[in-house]
Amino acid sequence: MKGMITVGSVVVFTTYFARVSGWVMGLLETVPNIKKSIESLRSVKEVLYSSDKGMAGGSIAIPTLNGRFELKDIHYTYPHAHEPSLSRINLTIEPGTTIGLMGPSGSGKTTLINVLLGFLTPQVGKCLIDGNPLEKLDLRSFRSRIGVVPQETRLFSGTILENITYGITEISIEEVMRALADAHLLEFVQSLSKGVHTPIGDGGVDLSGGQKQRLGIARAFVRNPSVLFMDEPTSSLDIESQFHVKEAMLHLMKGRTAIVASHALSVIRHVDTIVVMENGVIAQCGTHTELHEGDNFYASARRRVMA
């Protein structure tokens, strides 16, 4: 009858409306991540388009790495950015000491770590490694002696053993087991029917966030690095996982030059020197005792946790 809607028309309309609504909601959920993704893409682009300095003629190979870093008046601005990500950075890290980087998101912590790793070249200033200009070092030689624990450990399809030891030609199963114990993951691995030979899916889909991060720490342990970099390794974990990862991190940091960026006060309070960054500059620098009171980011974060 004219003017009436059939049941079929209602079903079709409802189905289309649900699909369109799903697309719109998906778009709205994606928008907040666009700005963060753009900054990440800028960092990736910087690495992809950088020259292979490690193969450059006249580069300095380092047979040993003592772990002394000197940053002298470092300035760095990402391409197309209006404001510098790092400005007037002066910092000396002595061998065997631990440094904790704290500050709000976007304060320059990750950028500073990428400069120290040689992924980013500052437009102004010098970065010296054991007295050598970083830009003159054989970066492959340098990076072979450091360990990196990122915010999210990247795992590939293969066994636990393969994920821990990739890139290492000779290593004993005893060394792997020791690394798992140091990373507080041995009990879990031994509970699996195939132990270290247990296969895991691409990205570690079969593991929890905490287990993946501890596998990343075990990777660092088996390489026995002279210098350790950790960038927010507990930021995406629940409270229980944070505790286990924190214990593994503190164990890994012992006796090494370690630079860790983290909001976890339970980790930062144990480092030798806390560096508070704000808007790309070093706002405060000191020990837990020196900074835990007063008007600074570290003290404010500590008060919020204790409240």
> Which domains are delineated in the chain?
145-271 (3.40.50.300)
Contact predicate 196/189, CB 8 Å: yes
In this prediction, residues 146-169 reach a mean pLDDT of 87
In this prediction, residues 38-50 reach a mean pLDDT of 55
Beta-sheet strand order (sheet of 146-149): 146-149, 227-231, 257-261, 98-102, 273-278, 281-286
Beta strand pairing status for 281-286 and 273-278? Answer: antiparallel
Q: Which amino acid is at 258?
A: A
Q: What is the pLDDT of residues 109-139, one digit of tens each?
A: 999 999 999 989 999 999 999 999 998 888 8
Q: Which residues on neighbouring strands pair with residue 206, listed in sequence order?
A: none
φ and ψ at 91, to 5 degrees? -155, 135
Q: What is the pLDDT of residues 53-90, one digit of tens each?
A: 444 434 788 888 999 999 999 999 998 888 999 999 99
Residue 252 has pLDDT above 90, yes or no: no
Residue 306 has pLDDT above 80, yes or no: no
How far, in Å, CA of 22 to CA of 36, rounded?
A: 23
Question: How many C-beta atoms surround the C-beta of residue 120 within 10 A?
Answer: 23
Contact predicate 225/187, CB 8 Å: no
Whose tokens are 């020197």? That residue is 273
User: Pick the residue with more confidence: 227 or 24?
Assistant: 227
The first and second tokens of residue 161, run together, are 């053993």
Residue 46 has pLDDT above 70, yes or no: no
How far, in Å, CA of 181 to CA of 189, rounded?
A: 10
Measured CA distances, 156 to 143, 150, 191, 215 (Å): 21, 15, 21, 12
Beta strand pairing status for 257-261 and 227-231? Answer: parallel
Residue 264: how many CA atoms within 13 Å on its side-chain side?
27
Residue 164 has pLDDT above 50, yes or no: yes
This prediction has a pTM of 0.74
Question: How many C-beta atoms surround the C-beta of residue 61 within 10 A?
Answer: 10
Give pLDDT, residue 48. 56
In this prediction, residues 280-293 reach a mean pLDDT of 86
How far, in Å, CA of 168 to CA of 103, rounded?
A: 35
In this prediction, residues 155-161 reach a mean pLDDT of 90
Mean pLDDT rounded to a whole number for the chain: 83
How far, in Å, CA of 93 to CA of 288, rounded?
A: 17
User: Pick the residue with more confidence: 42 or 187?
Assistant: 187
In this prediction, residues 104-110 reach a mean pLDDT of 87
Give pLDDT, residue 33. 64
